[in-house]
């Protein structure tokens, strides 16, 4: 049971065609529904970023790495089909456990993940050197995208973690202590934040 009561009963909205990730998004969305106009704005912002130029795969890698730092169980459980279509695999998600050593990440992805790690854990260490490294791979527009993906993911992920929305996440993510989005029976979700 989440720590904040949903605005509606999410089970009443579930249907047989829904994947596990859709149900997780619906659980979070039922809480966000207390402020539907804010939920719609947040969904529109995330859709715009997801459709940005850094790519679905990079977007998802950054989002999942931040979900780990936030320990947001519902965020870690969701996989978006668009990201899978852009090359996200569970093996790649497993690379997030040690991204600096992962052979299947590009140098650009490693730079974005280093930024995401610092943003989530010690943002004041982000300096000119970190941005210079990002500029080797990303345009100024993409730097803004990456920054906004990190900002929204850190803020909303931490909030969702405090809500403790875990009723429908895989069992591996319900254990106490620190968990990661790697090596779990991940759910596919096509629902956006706006729909959740």
Instruction: Answer yes or no: is 22 within a domain.
Output: yes
Tell me the pLDDT band of 193, cut-offs 50, 70 and 90: very low
Structure tokens at 8: 């509606």
CA distances for 193 relative to 35, 77, 92, 161, 181, angstroms = 13, 14, 23, 15, 19
Note the pLDDT tens digit of each residue in 68-114: 999 999 999 988 888 999 999 999 999 999 999 999 999 999 999 99
Instruction: Answer yes or no: is 1 within a domain.
Output: no
DSSP state string for 15-78: -TT--HHHHHHHHHHHHHTTSHHHHHHHHHHHHHHHTSSS-HHHHHHHHHHHHHHHT-HHHHHE
Which CATH number do you get for residue 130?
Answer: 1.20.1290.10
CA distances for 62 relative to 27, 114, 149, 191, angstroms = 22, 9, 8, 18
Q: What is the DSSP letter of 133?
A: H
Note the pLDDT tens digit of each residue in 110-150: 999 999 999 999 999 999 999 999 999 999 999 999 999 99
Instruction: Answer yes or no: is 193 within a domain.
Output: no
Instruction: Answer yes or no: is 171 within a domain.
Output: yes
Question: Would you mind telling me the total number of residues written for the chain in this entry?
Answer: 196
pLDDT at 14: 87
Instruction: Answer yes or no: is 8 within a domain.
Output: no
Full domain range(s) for residue 88 = 16-188
Note the pLDDT tens digit of each residue in 16-50: 887 777 788 889 999 999 999 999 999 999 999 99
Instruction: Answer yes or no: is 51 within a domain.
Output: yes
- CA 46 – CA 137 distance, rounded (Å): 22
With 60 as the cut, is the pLDDT of residue 186 above it?
A: no
pLDDT at 1: 87
Instruction: Answer yes or no: is 20 within a domain.
Output: yes
């Amino acid at each position: 049971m989440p720590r904040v009561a949903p605005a509606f009963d999410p089970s009443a909205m579930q249907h047989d065609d829904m994947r596990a990730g859709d149900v997780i998004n619906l659980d979070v969305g039922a809480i966000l529904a207390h402020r539907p106009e804010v939920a719609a704005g947040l969904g529109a912002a995330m859709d715009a970023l997801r459709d940005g130029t850094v790519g679905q795969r990079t977007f998802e890698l950054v989002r999942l790495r931040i979900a780990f730092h936030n320990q947001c169980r519902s965020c870690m459980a969701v996989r978006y089909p668009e990201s899978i279509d852009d090359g996200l695999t569970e093996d790649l998600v497993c690379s997030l456990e040690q991204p600096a050593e992962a052979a299947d990440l590009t140098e650009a992805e490693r730079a974005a993940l280093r930024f995401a790690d610092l943003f989530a854990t010690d943002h004041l260490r982000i300096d000119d050197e970190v941005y210079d490294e990002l500029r080797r791979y990303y345009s100024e527009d993409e730097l803004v995208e990456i920054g906004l993906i990190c900002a929204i993911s850190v803020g909303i992920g931490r909030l969702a973690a405090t809500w403790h929305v875990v009723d429908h996440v895989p069992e591996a993510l319900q254990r106490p202590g620190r968990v990661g989005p790697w090596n779990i029976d991940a759910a596919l979700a096509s629902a956006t934040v706006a729909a959740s």
